[in-house]
Amino acid sequence: MLLVLLLYTSFLLVWFVYMDRRSNEGNREFLGNFISAANMDETKWNYLHAHEDLELRTEIPFAELEMEFLHQNNNSSDREDQTITDAEAHAKTLKPYPVSETKIRRLRCIGWRATDNCSPDGPRIPRFDEPCNKVITFGASGYCEVQDKDTGENFKVMQRHCSSVRDTARFRCSESWDFAVFPQKAREAVEKAHDHNFMLPNISPKLDHLQEPRDGIVMVVYPKLLASAYATIRALRELLNCHLPIELWFRSQEMKFFPEAFTQLQEWSSETKGSITFREIGEPGVVGFATKVFAIYHSFFERVLFLDADNVPVRDPTFLFASPEFQETGAVFWPDFWHPSKTIFNIQPHSLIWELLDLPYVSMFEQESGQLLVDRRRHAVPLELVKFYIFHRPNHFDKMKLAHGDKDLFRWGLRST
């Protein structure tokens, strides 16, 4: 019985050894068939284990593999850190463009320099730098870097906080070279107007201090506002008994499409009490809000009450010319509803407008320019500056939505002079 048990045990051992060998041979055959089916030659096999897929390289201990990835990450981080360090060091060498200089430098744009913390003075983020022609997204902070073509000096201009421009603005550094020198060009316009021989158009030399100034109302009309102009003038003449002379400025290119309505306004105006004169704006390029500035600048009145054609007074406005405020200052402006703490035009402390105008921020109501009163003789200098603002090209106010048309330009013109 014992002998039979020993024989049976030996048989089992031999059978297990045999089956184990068959299993190993089968695995090798299966692996060989798998490689053959994938057409994986030795080169591909080596690639699989030794190329960029480091996690497949089983001959490398796991700890060493981890350190290799960590070393790669460290190298990437080190390179980025070095780039940031270099950018920070370069930023410290840049100064704001010296707008107080007399000489206007010849500048070229270098590019957009991104910063952190919603401030142009925040830490540099060079990975978000952009070329000059790239539109910078809303909410970005940073500045444009420009270079003096003659001296090689670099400056930072158009310094943006996250809220410096409106979300509808198209901000590029491509025009930073002109933005930088805009205050200098504005100062040249002011210096020209300070010449004792300078006078606005249609202002005659005042020979007699007792001579009464010519007062009048100025309006700009275009097809959409012909009916409004008719209503306003009729209210002034028939309801308010206002006899101030009126100038109606228009562009013939616009009125030729509505000849009947314009002719009716002209015929009716000739029959009303008081002088109504139609004056054509013939200069090319004077369109939109620029027509208002053009009309005031070229008016034949010495003292002007400008009214939007759809702005109807509730009282004869003649008394305004004799008001103490106007007699003392020569200009009366009306506040708008908007204030820096609640503005739809983004005129607030961080607006880019203050750098463009080279003016300190002042917390005050915005200007409602639907009506304004100005003595053209006394304020020839600020009116010359406003003319520069509206007709300078490129128009930074409009392109970057820093102001709404002519709105606020008159108060900024007076503040700057």
Query: Domain containing 277 — which CATH number?
Result: 3.90.550.10
> What confidence score (pLDDT) does residue 268 get?
87
Report, as ranges of residue numbers, the positions in the chain whose pLDDT lies below 50.
1-5, 12, 17, 23-76
Same-domain status, 217 and 160:
no
Instruction: Please check whether residue 300 is in contact with residue 248, taking contact to mean a CB–CB distance below 8 angstroms.
Output: no
Q: Is 411 domain-assigned?
A: yes
CA distance 382 to 297: 11
Q: Is residue 10 part of a domain?
A: no
Does residue 158 sit in the same domain as residue 254?
no
pLDDT of residue 58: 39
Residues 181 and 257 in one domain: no
What pLDDT is recorded for position 342? 86
189 lies in a domain? yes
- The confidence score (pLDDT) of residue 27 equals 42
CA distances from residue 65 to 12, 74, 76, 311, 359 in whole angstroms, order as listed: 45, 14, 17, 78, 60
Residue 287 is predicted with a pLDDT of: 94
| Exposure letters 63-93 (e unless 16+ CB within 10 A, then b) | eeeeeeeeeeeeeeeeeeeeeeeebeeebee
Residue 389 lies in a domain: no
pLDDT at 131 (0 to 100): 98
Residue 127: predicted pLDDT:
95
Same domain, 281 and 361: no
Task: Identify the three-state secondary structure at position 168.
Answer: coil
In this prediction, residue 29 carries a pLDDT of 40
Task: Note the pLDDT of residue 339.
Answer: 87
Is-cis flag, bond preceding 394, omega within 30?
Answer: yes
Would you call 234 exposed, middle or buried from its count of C-beta atoms within 10 A (0-12, 13-18, 19+)? middle
State which residues form the domain around 261: 211-322
Query: Is 58 a domain residue?
Result: no
* In a domain? residue 22: no
Output the pLDDT for position 44: 35
In this structure, are 192 and 336 located in the same domain? yes
Q: Are residues 252 and 300 part of one domain?
A: yes
* pLDDT for the residue 77: 60
Residue 62 lies in a domain: no
pLDDT at 15: 52
Q: Which of 266, 295, 322 represents a domain boundary (last residue)?
A: 322
What pLDDT, on the 0 to 100 scale, is given for residue 182?
A: 98
Q: Are residues 318 and 334 in the same domain?
A: no
Residues 182 and 260 in one domain: no
pLDDT value at residue 231: 95
pLDDT at 400: 95
Residues 177, 218, single domain; the answer is no
For the chain, the straight-line distance linking the first and the last C-alpha, in angstroms and rounded, comes to: 127
Are residues 91 and 178 both part of a single domain?
yes
